[in-house]
Amino acid sequence: MKTIKEKVMNQKIFASLLIAIFTSFVSISASAEEGAIRFSNNAFKQVITKNADGTTQYDYVEPGLVLPNDVILYEIVFENISDKPVENIVVNNPIANNSKYRGNSATGDSTEITFSVDGKIFAAADALTVKDKSGKSWQAKPEDYTAIRWVYKKALQPGEKGKVTYKTAIK
């Protein structure tokens, strides 16, 4: 069941991605082709629809109308367009302005995901702390995160693609 839902979701993301590329490629997304990696970063707004049969449908659309508390999905894709394996891949992404990270939303096959509250020290979610005004340390909450890091644990072979995603909520 879960697999089917995710498949549906992924197709929708892919469809939306195509729309985004054809309609607003320059304005809302960017990809770079310098060197060995084709790298893209796209934002989609999550639209939740309750279906008549009681199921919930998640669509991901171009972020045309974005208001506070809307959820944004970021999809970052890297593709090896060279004829050699690419190694030691690390993707870093500071959380955007006006945005807060949604807990447990970061994904990435074959990656080790860490977070930071200061952009310098990266650690697993449960190992991050923040200090309050009195100097007392607390476990960091997802909205405290300022950056995410994905370390890709394999070599990316020629023609191979990797993808990482995460979600934010608009403040």
Partner 1 sequence: MLLFCFASFFVSANVYAAAGDSVSSTATIDYVIAGTPASTNATAVFTEDRRINFIVADANGGASVPVISDMTNAVLQFSVTNLGNATQDILLTAVNTSVNPYGLPADNFDPLPGTLRVFAESGLTPGYQAAEDTAVFVDELGLNLPRAVYVIADIPAQVIDDVAAIALIAQVAEGGAAGVEGVAINADDNGRVSPAGVFSNGSTNVAAGISNIIPDSALAMETVFNDPAGLNPEDVSTALIQDIAGNGQHSDAGAYQILSPVNILKSVTVVDTLGGADPHPGATLRYQLDVTVSGNTSVNNLVITDSIPANTTYSDGSISLNGVSQTDANDAPADYSRAVDILSKPVVMIEVDLSQGGTVSVAPGITNVIIFEVTIN
- Give me the residues that bind partner 1 (CB under 8 A), please: 24, 27-32, 34-37, 39-43, 62-69, 72, 74, 76, 78, 82, 84-100, 156, 169-171
User: Least distance to partner 1 from the beta carbon of 57, Å?
Assistant: 19
DSSP-derived 3-state class of residue 107:
strand
- Is 84 or 131 the residue whose CB approaches partner 1 more closely? 84
User: Least distance to partner 1 from the beta carbon of 86, Å?
Assistant: 5
User: Least distance to partner 1 from the beta carbon of 109, Å?
Assistant: 16
Residue type, 125: A
- Is 53 or 87 the residue whose CB approaches partner 1 more closely? 87
User: Least distance to partner 1 from the beta carbon of 13, Å?
Assistant: 14
- Is 13 or 43 the residue whose CB approaches partner 1 more closely? 43
Q: How far apart are the C-alpha atoms of 124 and 64, rounded to whole Å?
A: 33
User: Least distance to partner 1 from the beta carbon of 54, Å?
Assistant: 26
- Is 12 or 70 the residue whose CB approaches partner 1 more closely? 70
- Do 72 and 20 contact (CB within 8 A), yes or no? no
- Do 79 and 38 contact (CB within 8 A), yes or no? yes
- Do 44 and 72 contact (CB within 8 A), yes or no? yes
User: What does the block give as tokens for 171?
Assistant: 């403040």
Q: How far apart are the C-alpha atoms of 36 and 56, rounded to whole Å?
A: 40
- Is 84 or 153 the residue whose CB approaches partner 1 more closely? 84
DSSP-derived 3-state class of residue 13:
helix
